[in-house]
Amino acid sequence: MSVQEFTKEQLEFLELFEIAARYDCLYLLDFHCFNMFNHDQTSLLTDTERAELAVEARGDIFAEAIQRGFQPNPGPFGQIDEQEYLC
């Protein structure tokens, strides 16, 4: 699939997952998923649920990643405000 075939919400979740994996904090994604949906299998979530998870977890995950040098990718849907991700 090309980037254009993903929705904005799908891309945001994929980015969050990739950042969590890169900075070794997938456990934070597990924690948030379990607290919201009573399981930690993000592959079982609907797109809507993944979008909700991304909203809940991104502040937690991106705050650390940015402090460790991560530069948010503006992506195809416009500029991302770094402050948006800080707790």
Question: Considering beta carbons, is residue 59 or 76 the nearer one to another protein?
Answer: 59
Q: 45 or 63: whose CB is closer to another protein? A: 63
- Least distance to another protein, CB of residue 73, Å: 19
Phi-psi region of 81 (alpha: psi -120 to 50; beta: other; left: phi over 0): beta
Tokens of 11: 């891309």
Rounded to a whole number of angstroms, the minimum distance from the CB of residue 2 to another protein is 30
Rounded Cα distance between 44 and 56, Å, is 17
**Of the two residues 8 and 22, which places its CB atom closer to another protein in the complex?**
22
Question: C-beta of 55: minimal distance to another protein in Å?
Answer: 7
Task: Summarize as ranges the residues that interact with another protein (CB under 8 A).
Answer: 23-28, 30-32, 34-35, 40, 55, 59-60, 63-64, 68, 87
What phi, psi does 6 have (nearest 5°)? -90, 150
Question: Do residues 22 and 64 lie in contact, with contact meaning Cβ atoms separated by under 8 Å?
Answer: no
Query: Residue for token digits 């948030």?
Result: 32
